[in-house]
């Protein structure tokens, strides 16, 4: 067995998969189904990149091992080698961490839905705080976001919001956020400023790759238009540009009202519908369901994945990993990487 760290990563098997994909791509008629072909070519490119990185590290480490044996009396060379090994160690850690993104859907864009839990204005305001937190996190990572649908709160905040997050491994990173988020604070809506506990449910779905995985028949959907209830100015209030789609076989209902164009809203609503139908299919497969996002849960007591306490002390704690910080302001401003990384490393250890 190899003594090097990459022994935990099956590079030879990955190289066999590359050969298999290259053979498929050279077959006559491969490009007849362009969507499927493009998906396979993306897989091929990702696998090649991973192998090149690991093989490159293997060579650098082998070179460093040879130099160590001839540099025992050269202090300057020893110092350079120490720096080089520290750099290689960091690179290995980063590549090992990427193993957390080995799920079938991790490389895709993501669709996040935030639902305010029971509690009226308190929970609706909390849902809007979470919306801002994820938008700020995505901005920090250079991911693009678009709000596809919003249901405003009765007095403040939001009842529900759907966000499209576009970026490399967006679904892989954000799968750590699926679950109930709990807030404890002094209420800004209570004249007595009493302490309140609020809940919001965050759902994270990987984007479906068009009709390759989810084939939606025209006769299986009902499309309705209505006036937008969200922000957007007078134009959106005067025209029925918002779109609601009902998938009749499953009873799934989705809507989009982010664009002035009814056509664009229909396209985005279909994108959301495909993601939800893909999620339903995944849930039928227990193993895939467990790897993707765990069990479906309700927005209530006892099921929260993370608590954000602003009073009587300040603390954000993830209940799955026990990772915590007292810098609540930074977390709510989008500094989530420490929580995401802790979660991803924890699930790496649970894989067979």
Q: pLDDT, tens digit, for every residue of 287-305?
A: 554 555 455 544 444 579 9
Using the 3D structure, point to which of 56, 80, 101 is the last residue of a domain.
Answer: 101
Distance CA 230, CA 255 (A): 12
Q: What is the CATH number of the domain that holds 78?
A: 1.20.58.410
Whether the pLDDT of residue 230 is over 70: the answer is no
* Top-confidence range, 173-182, 278-287, 297-306: 173-182
Q: What is the CATH number of the domain that holds 260?
A: 3.30.160.20
pLDDT of residue 115: 96
Query: CA nearest 174: which of 137, 129, 201, 149?
Result: 137
Q: Do both 145 and 123 map to the same domain? A: yes
Q: What is the DSSP letter of 157?
A: S
pLDDT of residue 209: 73
Whether the pLDDT of residue 114 is over 50: the answer is yes
Whether the pLDDT of residue 100 is over 80: the answer is no
8: β partners:
none
Q: Do both 120 and 237 map to the same domain? A: no
Six-digit token string for 169: 């491994």
Domain boundaries, position 114: 110-210+289-350
Using the 3D structure, point to which of 252, 283, 314 is the last residue of a domain.
Answer: 283
Assess contact for 132 and 71: CB atoms under 8 A: no
What integer is the mean pLDDT of 220-235? 70
Q: Do both 11 and 80 map to the same domain? A: yes
Using the 3D structure, point to which of 48, 71, 101 is the last residue of a domain.
Answer: 101
Among 19-28, 41-50, 143-152, 241-250, where is mean pLDDT lowest?
A: 41-50
Whether the pLDDT of residue 177 is over 70: the answer is yes
What integer is the mean pLDDT of 130-134? 98
Q: Do both 204 and 297 map to the same domain? A: yes
- Residue of 297 and 319 predicted with greater confidence: 319
Q: What is the CATH number of the domain that holds 343?
A: 3.30.70.1660
For residue 35, the tally of other CB atoms under 10 A from its CB is: 11
What integer is the mean pLDDT of 139-160? 94
Q: Do both 336 and 194 map to the same domain? A: yes
Q: Do both 191 and 302 map to the same domain? A: yes
Question: Across all residues in the chain, what is the average pLDDT?
Answer: 83
- pLDDT band of residue 212 (cuts 50, 70, 90) is low
What integer is the mean pLDDT of 116-125? 91
**Count of the separate structural domains present in the chain:** 3
Q: Do both 193 and 298 map to the same domain? A: yes
* Top-confidence range, 113-127, 208-222, 255-269: 113-127
pLDDT in tens, 45-91: 888 888 888 888 888 888 877 777 666 666 777 777 778 888 887 77
Q: Do both 273 and 197 map to the same domain? A: no
Q: Do both 148 and 237 map to the same domain? A: no
Secondary structure of 16-70 in HEC code, one letter for each residue: HHHHHHHHHHCCCCHHHCHHHHHHHHHHHHHHHHHHHHHHHHHHHHHHHHHHHHH
pLDDT of residue 291: 52
Q: Do both 199 and 318 map to the same domain? A: yes
Phi-psi label, residue 169: left if phi above 0, alpha if psi -120 to 50, beta otherwise:
left
Whether the pLDDT of residue 217 is over 70: the answer is yes
- pLDDT > 70 fraction of the chain, expressed in percent and rounded: 85
Q: Do both 202 and 304 map to the same domain? A: yes
Q: What is the DSSP letter of 288?
A: H
What integer is the mean pLDDT of 188-201? 87
Distance CA 127, CA 156 (A): 10
Whether the pLDDT of residue 311 is over 70: the answer is yes
Q: Do both 74 and 47 map to the same domain? A: yes
């Amino acid at each position: 067995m190899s003594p090097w760290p990459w022994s935990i990563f099956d590079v030879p098997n990955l190289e066999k998969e590359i050969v298999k994909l290259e053979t498929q791509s050279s077959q006559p008629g491969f490009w007849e189904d362009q969507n499927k072909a493009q998906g396979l070519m993306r897989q091929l490119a990702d696998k090649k990149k991973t192998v090149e990185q690991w093989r490159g590290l293997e060579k650098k480490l082998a070179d460093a091992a040879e130099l160590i044996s001839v540099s025992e009396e050269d202090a300057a060379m020893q110092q350079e080698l120490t720096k080089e090994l520290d750099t290689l160690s960091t690179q290995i850690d980063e590549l090992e961490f990427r193993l957390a993104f080995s799920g079938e859907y991790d490389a895709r864009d993501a669709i996040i839905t935030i639902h305010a839990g029971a509690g009226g204005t308190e929970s609706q305001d909390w849902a809007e705080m979470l919306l801002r937190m994820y938008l700020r996190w995505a901005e920090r990572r250079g991911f693009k976001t678009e709000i596809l649908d919003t249901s405003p709160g009765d007095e403040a905040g939001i009842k529900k919001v759907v966000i499209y997050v576009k970026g490399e491994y967006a679904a892989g990173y954000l799968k750590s956020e699926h679950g109930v988020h709990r807030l404890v604070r002094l209420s800004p809506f209570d004249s007595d400023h009493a302490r309140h506990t609020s809940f919001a449910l965050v759902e994270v779905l990987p984007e479906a790759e068009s009709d390759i995985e989810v084939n939606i028949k025209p006769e299986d959907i009902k499309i309705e238009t209505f006036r937008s209830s969200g922000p957007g100015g007078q134009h959106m209030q005067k025209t029925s540009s918002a779109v609601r789609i009902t998938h009749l076989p499953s009873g799934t209902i989705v809507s989009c009202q982010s664009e002035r164009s009814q056509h664009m809203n229909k396209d985005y609503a279909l994108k959301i519908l495909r993601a939800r139908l893909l999620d339903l299919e995944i849930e039928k497969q227990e193993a895939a369901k467990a790897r993707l996002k765990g069990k479906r849960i309700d927005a209530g007591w006892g099921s929260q994945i993370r608590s954000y306490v602003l009073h009587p002390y300040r603390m954000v704690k993830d209940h799955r990993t026990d990772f915590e910080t007292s810098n609540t302001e930074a977390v709510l401003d989008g500094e989530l990487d420490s929580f995401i990384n802790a979660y991803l490393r924890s699930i790496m250890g649970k894989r067979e």
